[in-house]
Amino acid sequence: MPAPRPGPGAELPKAEIHLHLEGSIDLDTLIAIRGRRKRRTEGGERQRLGGLYRHQGFKDFLFHFATLCEELTGPEDLALAATRLAERLAAQRVRYAEVMCSPGIFVRRGIPTDEILDAVLEASAAAQARGGPRLQWILDSVRQWGPRAFEPLVEHAARLRPRGVVGVGIGGDESAWKAQDFAMAYREARRLGLRTTAHAGEFSGPASVWEAIDVLGVDRVGHGIRAVEDPALVRALAERRVPLECCPTSNIATGVVPAWAAHPIPRLFRAGVFVTVGSDDPAMFGTTLAGEWDVLHTQLGLPEEDVVRIGRNTIEATFLGEPERRALLSEFDAVAAAW
């Protein structure tokens, strides 16, 4: 009896557009980072660190994420994380990824932004030179730190555009500060040629998505799945073709969605919303981008042709220049036609 055909997530060239560098650090990489500082990780200590990858809801995840970040004490730690991430993406046939990095987390511990970004950008360029995927970067601020933390990040991002920083965004608590408080900085980002995104409609309801698209004017919405609660918003997203950066396993792991059967991705997709797929914090949630493609079919019940469509949407939603996007789409279409 012939072996079953691998799903499209294993075979097709892919793009990844919702991915946090810090949340991509798996246990082996974390132990390697500690080893560089001659910090032993044995017995109970290894067990403690392993617990950072098992969560009982969103607050638990936030605590584990913060604890993991405390283990990163120098730019070289983030450089190693970027190198390991590029290797894992290459193994999944990811050709291109836009990775979020939150330097403000480490600046607050005395590590200068320039040192962090130099290390990460050099590591990703070196990985690409060795045949890995092309990585571009989105500088992500923590919303609850307010616009004063976001504004200088916009300046750093604009200065580093020639080195592969393509955009800016905000994550964190969607209910912290008003969207209007960030609107001027988002306008400045666009004036400087940066692309924009914002986490919205993940933990907060549809109002946060309306604010992201109408007040902040974002190019894409991070998550956005609670838009399904507002039919007018669903219609607006479909008509405007605003991409939603959907991350199904993340939503289950954090308790945003209680069960696979309740996940809104199929309803959003069938309503014509521009759904894409990403892995969010893959190490923290025990997933991969290829795995996210698989759960669209196996857990959410989407036909494989719809999974392929969502994979193609993801490439279309990238912040690549038009010639590069078209080249990647051509490669994708050629492989999909033969698959």
Question: CA 184 to CA 216: how far, in whole Å?
Answer: 8
Please list the pLDDT of the chain residue by residue as tens digits (339 residues). 555 667 787 889 999 999 999 999 999 999 999 887 766 666 678 888 999 999 988 889 989 999 999 999 999 999 999 999 999 999 999 999 999 999 999 998 889 999 999 999 999 999 999 999 999 999 999 999 999 999 999 999 999 999 999 999 999 999 899 999 999 999 999 999 999 999 999 999 999 999 999 999 999 999 999 999 999 999 999 999 999 999 999 999 999 999 999 999 999 999 999 999 999 999 999 999 999 999 999 999 999 999 999 999 999 999 999 999 999 999 999 999 998
Residue 184 lies in a domain: no
Question: CA 264 to CA 268: how far, in whole Å?
Answer: 6
Q: How many residues does the chain have?
A: 339
65 and 128 co-located in one domain: yes
209 and 121 co-located in one domain: no
32 and 171 co-located in one domain: yes
* Dihedral angle, C-alpha 156, 145, 222, 8, nearest 10 °: 70
Residue 188 lies in a domain: no
Final residue belonging to a domain, choices 159, 175, 191: 175
Rounded to two decimals, the pTM is: 0.95
Enumerate residues 6+ apart whose C-beta is below 8 A from 88. 24, 282, 288
Domain count of the fold of the chain: 2
Residue 313 lies in a domain: yes
71 and 36 co-located in one domain: yes
36 and 171 co-located in one domain: yes
Residue 73 lies in a domain: yes
Question: CA 34 to CA 318: how far, in whole Å?
Answer: 34
pLDDT (0 to 100) of residue 207: 97
132 and 89 co-located in one domain: yes
pLDDT (0 to 100) of residue 279: 98
Active site residues: 202
pLDDT (0 to 100) of residue 79: 97
Burial of 15 (0-12, 13-18, 19+ CB in 10 A): buried
Residue 116 lies in a domain: yes
What is the extent of the structural domain holding 126?
27-175
pLDDT (0 to 100) of residue 333: 97
DSSP annotation of 48 reads: H
Residue 283 lies in a domain: yes
What's the token pair of residue 61? Answer: 């995840």
pLDDT (0 to 100) of residue 7: 79
Residue 277 lies in a domain: yes
> Among 199, 106, 189, which Cα is nearest to 154's?
189
pLDDT (0 to 100) of residue 43: 66
238 and 317 co-located in one domain: yes
51 and 92 co-located in one domain: yes
CATH code, domain with 57? 3.20.20.140
Measured in whole angstroms, the distance separating CA 81 from the mean position of its chain's CA atoms is 15
151 and 260 co-located in one domain: no
260 and 123 co-located in one domain: no
272 and 329 co-located in one domain: yes
Residue 6 lies in a domain: no
292 and 152 co-located in one domain: no
pLDDT (0 to 100) of residue 59: 86
Checking phi first, is residue 4 left (phi over 0); if not, alpha (psi -120 to 50) or beta?
A: beta
pLDDT (0 to 100) of residue 45: 81
pLDDT (0 to 100) of residue 38: 67
